[in-house]
Amino acid sequence: MTAVLVVAAFTAAYVLIATERIHRVTAALFGAAAMVVLGVVDTQVAFFSEETGVDWNVIFLLLGMMVIVSVIKQTGVFDYVAIWAAKRARGRPFAVMVLLVLITAVASALLDNVTTVLLIAPVTLLLCDRLGLPPVPFLIAEALASNIGGAATLIGDPPNIIIASRAGLSFNDFVINLAPIVVILMVVFIGMCRLLFRHAFQYDEERVASVMALNERDMIRDRRLLIRSGVVLAAVMVGFVAHSALHIEPSLVALLGAGTLVAVSDLDPPQFLEEVEWPTLVFFMGLFIMVGALVEVGVIARLGEMVTNAVGERFFLASSVLLWGSALLSGIVDNIPYVTTMTPLVQGLVDSGNGSPQADALWWALALGADLGGNSTAVGASANVVIIGIAARNGHPISFWHFTKYGVVVAVVTIAISWPYLWLRYYAFGG
Amino acid sequence: MRARELARAMPTVAVDTDAMQAAQLMAAERLPGLIVCREDGRPYTILPGSQVLRFLIPTYIQDDPRLARAFDEKASDEMVGKLARRTVHDLLPKPQDVDELPVVDGDATTVEVAAVMARMHSPLVAVVAGERVLGAITVGRLLSHLLSATSPQR
C-alpha cells in the first residue's frame, strides 16, 4: 500500500513539474515532503544514504561551478570574446553566428550550459543591436549549441553530472565516449544553422564598420582577475581530467577551484554568489528525495527487474529505445527530473551486463538522448528556458512553437546521427 | 509649510501624448518628470525621467551597464529614435499600478510629501485639491525647503 501511495505522490509531483502549474521547485519540495509524511523518508534515507539520499556530489559540483562562473563573469571575458568574434567574422552575419555558436558550445563543455547562455546572451543582443540583425535566431542557435556542446563533458549539462555521479563515471569517460560525436554534431549543426536561419543574415556595411571600430579590450574589467581566473580554471580542468588518478571527486575539484578563486579575488559574497542558482539546487534536492523514496520502497528494483528481463542480452535494442525514448521524454519534461528518475533503472540494466561495454554504452545512450532531446522543445532543457526568458525581458519574445520548430529539427537530426554512432562504436563490432 | 504652498505650476501630458514631445518637454523645462493626466484632467500617474531612460536603454545594458561602452554617439541617436511613433502610455511601467499614485493633497505637510516621494521612488509629486491639479513639487524643491529649514541651527 505504501508503495502505491509513494508512486501516486511521485506521479502527482511529476505532473506538476511537467505542466508547470506551480513552480517546479515548489512541486519538487511538495513531492519530497509527501515522501516524509508517508513515512518512507527519514534523515538517514534523505541525507546520508548513497542509494536513496540527496546526491551531494551533484549539488556541490554545480555549486562550485556556479561560483567559478560568478567570478569569471566579473572579468568581462565573455563580452571580450564575443566582440572579438564579431570583428574576426568581419561582421558577416553567418560567420558571426558560427563563431558565437562555437564559443557557446566550447564554454558549455568547460563550464555548464545554463550559465554559459546566461553570459553569452547579453553580448549577443548587443552585437545584434549594433549589426542590425534579428537577435532571436542567434539566441535560439546558442541555446541549441549549448545543449549539444554540453553533452561532451561530465560538467557540461546537468543530466551528465547526475549520470556521472550515480554511475561512477569519470570526466575522461565522458570526453572519450561523447566528445567525438559532439564534434561531428557541431559540424552538422553549423550547416543546419545556415539553412534554418537563412533569413537572419542581412549585411549592413555601415553598421559593420561601427562594430569593427569597437575595441574588445575595453570589455575587460579586471585584467588581474582575468589572469588568475584563467589559471584556476585551467587547474580545475586538469583536476577533472586527473580526478580518477588523484582519487578526488569532481565535486571537490570544483569546490577547491571555487574556493581558490574566491581567495585570490577581492570579490564580496554577493558578487561571487551572483550566478548561484539556489532554486535549481533546491529543485535537485527535492528530486533526489522523491526518486530515493521510489528506491526505498522497492519500486525501482521491481521496474528494473522487469526491464532487465525484457531486454535480456539485447543491449543495442535497449540502447536505441533509451536514446530515442529519452529524447522524446526530455522534450516533454525537463531533462533533469527525467534523468534523475532513469539513472537507478539504467544502473540495473548496466549491472545485468556484468561490465560488458555493450551494457555500459547504455549510459551514453541515456546521456545523448537526454542532452540532445532537450533541444526538441522550448521547455526541454534549462538553457532553452533561460534564453527564452532573457529574450522576453529584452523585448524579443520567443514563443514555445517558434523555438520548437527549430529545436525539433535539430534534435531529430542530432539523435539520428548519434544512433549509428552508438551502433558502430559499441555494438557493430562486438565492442 | 503645506504642499499647496510648495507646489509650482507644471505642464501636464496625457496618456496618448506623443512620447517624443513629452521627452522634449521634460528636457526643455529641465523637469525630473511629468504629471500624466486622464482625459478629464485628473492625475493618472507620474512619468519620471528615469522611466524614459528605462524605455530607451536596452534591458541587457541596464543589467550590465559596462556593455554601454560598445555604444557610440551615433548609436545613442538611434536609441532616442525609439520614441518615434510612441505615446506616453508606452513609456509607463507595466503593469500599471494606478491604485497608488505619487499624489498629495494640498494640505499635506512636507513630511507627508517626502514620505510619498520616498515610498514611490518618484522625483516629483502632484498636488491636488479634490480632482483639480494645483501643481507639482519636485524633489529638488522639497530638499531646498527641508535644508533651508535646518540650516540656521547649524
Q: How many Cα atoms within 13 Å fall on the side-chain side of residue A194? A: 7
Residue A140 is placed in which grid cell? 535560439
Which chain B residues contact residue A395 at CB under 8 A?
Answer: 58-59
3-class state of residue A3 by DSSP: helix
Q: Which of B67, B73, B74, B90 to mutate to probe the A interface, most A CBs <10 Å?
A: B67
User: pLDDT at position A423, please?
Assistant: 95
Q: Cβ A130–B74 below 8 Å, yes or no?
A: no
User: pLDDT at position B116, please?
Assistant: 92
Q: Which of B57, B60, B86 to mutate to probe the A interface, most A CBs <10 Å?
A: B60
ipTM above 0.85, yes or no: no
User: pLDDT at position A203, please?
Assistant: 82
Q: Of A68-72, A138-142, B15-19, where does the model show the most confidence?
A: A138-142
B interface with A, Cβ–Cβ below 8 Å: 58-61, 63-64, 66-67, 69-72, 74-75
Which chain B residues contact residue A213 at CB under 8 A?
Answer: 72
Q: Cβ A79–B75 below 8 Å, yes or no?
A: no
User: What homologous superfamily does CATH list for B3-150?
Assistant: CBS-domain (3.10.580.10)
A316 close to A353: Cβ distance less than 8 angstroms: no
Residue A418 is placed in which grid cell? 548519434
CA distances from A70 to A75, A272, A394, B1, B29 (A): 9, 5, 22, 51, 43
How far is Cα A274 from Cα B11, in angstroms, rounded to an integer? 43
- Express each pLDDT in A291-315 by its tens digit: 889 888 888 778 877 877 787 778 9
Q: Cβ A210–B74 below 8 Å, yes or no?
A: yes
Which of the four pLDDT bands, split at 50, 70 and 90, describes residue A61?
A: confident
- Burial classification of residue B40, based on how many CB atoms lie within 10 Å of its CB (0-12 exposed, 13-18 middle, 19 or more buried): exposed
Which chain A residues contact residue B61 at CB under 8 A?
Answer: 126
How far is Cα A213 from Cα B72, in angstroms, rounded to an integer? 10
* Bond from prior residue into A269 cis (ω within 30 degrees of 0): no
For residue A370, pLDDT over 90 is answered with yes
Which of the four pLDDT bands, split at 50, 70 and 90, describes residue A232?
A: very high
- Express each pLDDT in A6-31 by its tens digit: 999 999 988 888 777 888 889 999 99
Nearest CA in chain B to A124: B60
For residue A108, pLDDT over 50 is answered with yes
Which chain A residues contact residue B69 at CB under 8 A?
Answer: 218-219
3-class state of residue A401 by DSSP: helix
Q: Cβ B58–A394 below 8 Å, yes or no?
A: yes
How far A152 CA lies from chain B's nearest CA (Å)? 29
- Express each pLDDT in A392-416 by its tens digit: 888 899 988 899 999 999 999 999 9
Which of the four pLDDT bands, split at 50, 70 and 90, describes residue A221?
A: confident
- Express each pLDDT in A180-217 by its tens digit: 999 999 999 999 999 999 998 988 888 888 888 888 88
- Of B67, B72, B75, which is closest to A123 when you measure between CB atoms? B67
Say how many CB pairs under 8 Å bridge A and B: 41
Which chain A residues contact residue B60 at CB under 8 A?
Answer: 121-122, 125-126, 390, 394
3-class state of residue B134 by DSSP: strand
Where are the alpha helices (H) located in A74-204, listed in sequence order? 77-88, 93-110, 113-131, 135-150, 158-167, 171-196
* CB contact set of A234 (below 8 Å; sequence gap of 6+): none
User: pLDDT at position B96, please?
Assistant: 52
The ranges assigned to domains in chain B are: 3-150
User: pLDDT at position A373, please?
Assistant: 94
pLDDT string in tens for chain B (154-residue length): 899 999 998 889 999 999 999 999 999 988 999 999 888 888 888 898 989 999 999 988 888 888 887 887 777 888 888 898 899 999 987 765 555 678 899 999 999 999 999 998 888 999 998 878 899 999 999 999 989 876 655 4
**Residue the block writes with cell 556484468:** A354
Mean pLDDT (whole number) for A152-177 = 92
pLDDT above 70 coverage of chain A, percent: 100
Mean pLDDT (whole number) for A136-157 = 95
CA distances from B131 to A269, B29, B33, B105 (A): 50, 25, 20, 10
Q: Cβ A214–B70 below 8 Å, yes or no?
A: yes
How far is Cα A269 from Cα A256, in angstroms, rounded to an integer? 16
Mean pLDDT (whole number) for A342-367 = 90
